[in-house]
Amino acid sequence: MPLNRPCGTELLAAVRQWVQTVAQPANDETRAYEARIAANLLDILERELTLGERFAAGERSGLAALLGRDGPLDELNFELSERIRRREIGIGNAPLLAHLRRSAIAKLEIENPRYSAYRRARRA
């Protein structure tokens, strides 16, 4: 599934850059805040590396069912958006809504599983 940017490698590069350049003097509050950000980025990266391929396979399968063909994930997502834009698939289409919901929940599980909407969706 195309995860929202930044992707895992971008997150890793950002953390690496922070670690390499933070040697400059900073007050304790700043360092604590930056450390929390770094920890959150590493958590996202870990979840993406652990769950991303499985979620991408699920999204690709859902798109293939909606579109009636298989292919690369980015192509399938582009085709779906084009079919919606051309009104070939209506926004009220139940299989479409189910697919979008599953995809959004999967992305939240990686990006922010503490988000209250994600927790509610997992209980439903």
pLDDT score for 56: 95
In a domain, 13, yes or no: yes
Task: Please tell me the distance from the alpha carbon of residue 71 to that of residue 63, in angstroms, as a whole number.
Answer: 9
Domain count for the chain: 1
Cα end-to-end span (Å), the chain: 23
DSSP string covering 63-120:
HHHHHTS---HHHHHHHHHHHHHTTSS-TT-HHHHHHHHHHHHHHHHHH-TT-HHHHH
Query: What digits encode the pLDDT tens for the residues 20-66?
Result: 676 445 667 777 677 778 878 888 888 888 899 999 999 999 999 99
The reply to whether 99 falls in a domain is yes
More confident residue, 123 or 1: 123
Give the per-residue pLDDT at 6: 81
Amino acid 71 reads: G
Which pLDDT tens digit goes with each residue over 89-118?
A: 998 999 999 999 999 999 988 988 887 777
pLDDT at 26: 62
Residue 65 lies in a domain: yes
Instruction: Identify the domain containing residue 54 by its residue range.
Output: 8-123
CA 116 to chain centre: 16
Q: Is the dihedral of CA 5, 16, 41, 26 positive or negative?
A: negative
In contact, 83 and 89? CB cutoff 8 Å: yes
pLDDT of residue 3: 63
Q: Is there a domain that residue 2 lies in?
A: no
Per-residue model confidence (pLDDT) at position 113:
85
